């Protein structure tokens, strides 16, 4: 009896891990496509298209992420059971958009960069661990935010 319960829990854990890995691959591919297209001009179009792909394929709404306050955003991400790995990729995406908007639209750049830092903090909370990669990424984003002042 006890062994079968343990086996069932292990199968569920493996299934969830595989599902998270699949979501991460899909999101990484979408972001990779954006990074490839960003230099081809019409940045606004590429951002809108990428946001739509993320929404339809992963049910994550970037526009909602950008307008939520911190508590609402954290609640939204908890309800969606967003894995820390996905938050890191989303943060990378928002950081890249922030970088691209630094000169043309500093207010928008700041909004993207601040959300990016917050997503990394939520990833720390959700994973219950501190990541050197996330710490380094936060430092880079904070530097970019300082250039706006």
Quote the pLDDT of residue 31: 80
**pTM attached to this predicted model:** 0.84
Quote the pLDDT of residue 14: 67
Question: Whose CA is closest to 114, among 149, 79, 85, 76?
Answer: 149
Quote the pLDDT of residue 6: 66
Quote the pLDDT of residue 48: 92
Quote the pLDDT of residue 119: 97
**Is position 89 within any domain?**
yes
**Is position 4 within any domain?**
no
Total domains, the chain: 1
Neighbours of 77 (CB within 10 A): 23
Quote the pLDDT of residue 11: 72
Q: If the chain, 149 residues long, is cut into consecutive pieces of 10 residues, what is the mean pLDDT of each piece?
A: 66 68 76 76 87 90 94 92 91 94 93 97 92 95 92
Local structure of residue 104 (DSSP, 8 states): T
Domain extent at residue 56: 22-147
**Is position 47 within any domain?**
yes
**Is position 6 within any domain?**
no
Q: What is the CA radius of gyration of the chain?
A: 17
Neighbours of 63 (CB within 10 A): 11
**Is position 10 within any domain?**
no
Cα distance between residue 84 and residue 125, in whole Å:
9
Quote the pLDDT of residue 137: 96
**Is position 12 within any domain?**
no
């Amino acid at each position: 009896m006890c062994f079968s319960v343990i086996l069932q829990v292990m199968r569920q854990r493996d299934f969830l891990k595989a599902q998270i890995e699949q979501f991460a691959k899909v999101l990484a591919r979408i972001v990779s496509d954006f990074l490839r297209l960003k230099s081809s001009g019409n940045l606004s179009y590429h951002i809108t298209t990428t946001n739509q792909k993320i929404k339809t394929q992963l049910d994550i709404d970037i526009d909602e992420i950008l307008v939520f306050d911190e508590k609402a955003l954290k609640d939204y991400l908890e309800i969606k059971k967003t894995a820390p790995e996905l938050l890191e990729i989303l943060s990378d995406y928002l950081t890249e958009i922030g970088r691209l908007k630094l000169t043309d639209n500093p207010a928008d750049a700041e909004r993207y960069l601040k959300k990016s830092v917050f997503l990394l903090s939520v990833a720390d909370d959700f994973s219950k661990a501190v990541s050197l990669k996330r710490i380094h990424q936060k430092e880079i984003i904070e530097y970019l935010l300082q250039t706006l002042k």
